[in-house]
Amino acid sequence: MTKFSLLIICLPFSFLASNGDGPIGTRSAALAHSSSCLHDVWSSRNNQGSLGFVRQADVGAFYENRFFVKELSQSGFAAVVPIKKGTFSLAYSSIGYKLYRESQVTLGYGLKLSETISLGVGFDYLNTKIGDIYGQANAFTGSLGLNIKLLPQLTIATHIYNPFRVSITNYNNEKVPTIFKFGAQYIFSKKVFLVGEAEKTSAQKLNVKGGIEYNPSSLVYLRVGGATYPTQASFGIGVNYQGLKIDISSMYHSILGLSPQIGLSYAFGKNYSKPTIQP
């Protein structure tokens, strides 16, 4: 099979996460992108409702070689900056190649309403570019998120993206998908937690995802996960050394194969948060 043929097969799967608030970050990918409950630098895209619990400045970048086809590669970066009240964030991601590329910029803000509740909003700019002939299309949309710590060990979160179903082009009334996510996290101990998430888009079937993160030592994190639509398995490893995090992960599709990813992030400056169980 030629690379072009593989590209045509991959397109329906590969762009599900583009211009539709697809989750980003290598840690998230290792957990099958069941990330709405997590609070880290990637909450800037994955759930702004978790940003209120991110109380230290952090910057990160990632690169994904989707199905080992360079035309489907995805890359991006994110940054979070806490202030006295709340946390601001910026995220950027781009997928595709010079003849077809989709990009998304997200500006977010999260506020911790109490020690157990965080609420956030996101504002998104979407851009799709098709070659030199068809030009490009743009759209603005947004999202809302909520993260609630019901118990010290149990967290739930929800996130809705593009609730008003904006159109990215007038041709055929092509709309950006609306995506609703509901997730839960259970922390067994300081070393192990379990996350799960149900995701429903206006254009796709229900996707149920889950993952486990295990911290066998102060430096190393092991992660595995899986998703139902499309059916995929995920795994990864992370290293955290004095705020510098290096993550490697991959998702495996039974037909299309592996999508390896590497990420790097660094937390710095004053930490405004109280000690917590979650790393």
Q: What is the DSSP string of 109-121?
A: EEEE-SSSEEEEE
Listed range (1-5, 46-50, 165-169, 195-199) with the worst mean pLDDT = 1-5
pLDDT at 231 over 90: yes
Residue 114 CB neighbours (<10 A): 9
- Strand 220-228 and strand 87-97: the pairing is unpaired
Phi and psi, residue 245, nearest 5°: -115, 130
pLDDT at 159 over 50: yes
Radius of gyration for the alpha carbons in the chain, expressed in angstroms and rounded: 18
Identify whether the C-beta of residue 238 lies closer than 8 Å to the C-beta of residue 214.
Answer: no
Please name each of the domains of the chain with its CATH number: 3-268 (2.40.160.60)
Mean pLDDT along residues 235-244: 95
Give me the chain's average pLDDT, please.
Answer: 89
Residue 156 CB neighbours (<10 A): 15
- HSE (CB half, 13 Å, CA atoms) of 13? 21
Range 40-59 burial, b when 16+ CB lie within 10 A, else e: bbbbbbbbbbbbbbbbbbbb
Listed range (3-12, 127-136, 252-261) with the worst mean pLDDT = 3-12
pLDDT at 104 (0 to 100): 96
Task: Give the Cα separation of 75 and 103 in Å (integer).
Answer: 10
Task: Record the tokens describing residue 169, joined without a space.
Answer: 């082009």
Range 85-112 burial, b when 16+ CB lie within 10 A, else e: ebbebbbbbbbbeeebbbbbbbbbbbbb
Phi and psi, residue 48, nearest 5°: -65, -20
pTM of the model: 0.87
pLDDT at 3 (0 to 100): 43
Chain center to CA of 176: 17
Phi and psi, residue 115, nearest 5°: -70, -10
pLDDT at 17 (0 to 100): 41
Mean pLDDT along residues 43-49: 97
